[in-house]
Amino acid sequence: MTERVAVIVGGASGIGWATAQTLAKQDCRVTVADRNTELGRRRAAELGDPHAFAPVEVTDEASVAALFDDVAAREGGLDVVVNCAGFSGFGLITELAAEDFRSVIDVCLNGAFLVIKQAGRHLGDGGTLVSLTSLNARQPAIGMSAYCAAKAGLSMLTQVAALELGPRGIRVNAVAPGFVHTPLTEGAAMVPGWSRSMSRTPRWDGRGLPRTSPRRWLSSAHLSRRG
């Protein structure tokens, strides 16, 4: 099988790291892209050659453009992009600082736009672009206005990108997992009742992988297939 070139944005931890490991086992040459330089380099070293690390700040268009320009030049092309970058905060709408609201939107929605924009300039026929949305793209949660709004926006952005990039043979999709225990969700897990409220969502392990078999999970009637 011909090796595919893959970039995992936010690939140093959580679902991103699980994705990087999985694709590395599936004949992909993986670039772990992350703002956490120390952890990202360590992750790339864990994967070993020919995999690599690249720094990126998804809120900075120049940084995102440089990431994909450099990978395409080094590897001779680009086949797979998975954007897992994101974070959340907590605060009631009437108490949440506008700056805190904007910061979540900037990473989860504006950053996703920049990744799709710059990756889309390098992906060719047969390319794949996947964004991580969330169950909260369609399920509201008290205190999570910014995150819910950002992920709902990303869901629609994914559908628009699919319409625009589809004619070039590029598949654009979004995966909307339920609650996943990762370093970035530790704060939410401490909110009273939060874990219980998520008990009906698909079960994921500590690596960000579904505890059920991938085939069973992907064929679930509860999986959102739009986008």
Catalytic site positions: 147
DSSP letters, 140-185, are --TTBHHHHHHHHHHHHHHHHHHHHHGGGT-EEEEE-------GGG
**Which is it for the CA torsion 92, 183, 36, 87, positive or negative?**
negative
The answer to whether residues 42 and 19 touch, using CB atoms and an 8 Å cutoff, is no
At which residue do the structure tokens 């060719």 appear? Answer: 124
By CB neighbour count within 10 A (0-12 exposed, 13-18 middle, 19+ buried), where does 99 fall? exposed
* Distance (Å, whole) CA 163 – CA 213: 30
**H-run or E-run covering 43:** helix 37-47
As a whole number of angstroms, the distance between CA 64 and CA 93 comes to: 31
Cross-strand pairs, 144: 91
Calpha distance 131→133 (Å, rounded): 6
Q: How far is CA 171 from CA 18, 47, 128, 154, 203, in A?
A: 21, 26, 5, 16, 26
